[in-house]
Structure 1
């Protein structure tokens, strides 16, 4: 039995992931933006605990990290929360993931939700302002950044495991009804990475996955210079140091 935090789990892939893990008798801590997002008491009852916080606001992300640490050290954290467009793309998709990773007690496993769109993300960090976003271009950039964050964690914490997952284009509220990938298949890889025996996962850490299969990510995700510059920019934006 594992203790697992799933962010952005009030609906869609996050809820499917949390429900599958709870069904497998793991202790799941479900994160949602606010209590109104988890109106179904049946969902609450299946979870070990439910935490709230708007990941678009730095102070609430910090508070969420503190609440998570009060529960204990997690076996796995699945950074599922994300938005497709609007002003909160960077705040939710990369800044919140960075802050939670920096402030929480390091879990044994960290899984970050990426996207195939990360391959068209820009490596030009000089022009990035994490406090502003608003278009699909920012989404692709944010997913490149979070993929690089996953690979940074894999390199800095070799005793733990860190992976990025492309869940596919699935018919959630974000993906829309025209999405062509399976919603059922969309959550299985991250649930598997969070709980499978280490011997079943190859490579053990630092991979980019699509439906249980490792794929090659954008080259910048593994580039030490890009990782270093991204971490430095996130540290400057948040005032929070990333542990070494």
Structure 2
């Protein structure tokens, strides 16, 4: 998941509730139009008409349509990252397979719940994002996976690195974004979740086989064994 950070995304931070409501109405209208007719066909005048605000209100918070799109992407990426951080804290010291399942669900819950919105934003993001804007949020999500892998036992010390976390995040991001953008028939949220879990657990079980064998023993015996 990426965001554009190089544009002047907002001219003024909507600090008060009424101003915040105006900015949110503009964002919601933009996303609705984006889903219905695409980025090129969506104009600022259409957005403010649907939002019920004036042109001055738009430019009070957003410098352009591109900046509005960047804000919409940024806020959704930020919300997912916040959910993932809370998940890491809630599952600290849990068995490795459980930690992985929990963070997968935290990462994909929002995109799968609002698949049309995220599909439209994924497409726009590819048009407006630059290299630096891509790297920063991607690195943040990789770091979240590093934190989860470090939040408990199971993973060998030599595998607690950026490479492992990068591979996991790349599989999740790639599968989710491509499934939503391409809309391949037969890919529903439950099936996609299963596919992602299978891919990630298959990878991690190869580099941390002991953790998975121990987890299966615990499940069969109903016991908590030392790791």
TM-score using structure 2 length: 0.29
Q: Which has the higher helix share?
A: 2
Q: Which has the higher strand share?
A: 1
- State the structure with bigger RCO (CA 8 A, min sep 6), 1 or 2: 2
